Amino acid sequence: MSTPPAQADASRTYRRYLSALMLHGHASAKACGLGATDLYALNILELAGPMTPGELGARTGLTTGPTTRLIDRLEQAGYVRRVPEPDDRRKVIVEPIGKPAELDQVMAPARQKVGEIVAGYSAEQRALLFDYFDRAAQAYQEAAEHLRSDS
């Protein structure tokens, strides 16, 4: 049996990593009584700040109806609120007001293990890792925007 080429091995390792990350996100959301998309939307709002429902829909890949239901669920759970847009009171802004109380507790074991892994790298290696994360996030975001514009 031959050894697979390094490129295929790297691709497989990376895909396994992404699958594990997604699985953990889904399991974490479920443990907090949320859907995966709900947790994803909360993360978007926490990172980017308040935004219109249309912007949130675009960032989550949801159409208008599912975005409205998503915001309704998050609002009923006490994680977001709708507030009038200051410059145009006909519009609303969705802003985060809380996060699942259990989320930090649920995610703590994985965060601790990953923190220990990262701590084992030198400062230069950590800089390289985080440079990769920044650049890869941008690449994936641009690719998703491209895919949405093609559909």
CA torsion, ordered 32, 37, 42, 44, to nearest 10 deg: 150
CB 78 within 8 A of CB 98: yes
pLDDT in tens, 46-88: 999 999 999 999 999 899 999 999 999 999 988 999 999 888 8
Q: How many CB atoms lie within 10 A of CB 149?
A: 7
pTM over 0.85: no
pLDDT in tens, 103-113: 889 999 999 99
Distance CA 8, CA 49 (A): 38
Indicate if the alpha-carbon torsion angle 34, 57, 142, 6 is positive or negative: positive
Mean confidence (pLDDT) of the chain:
90
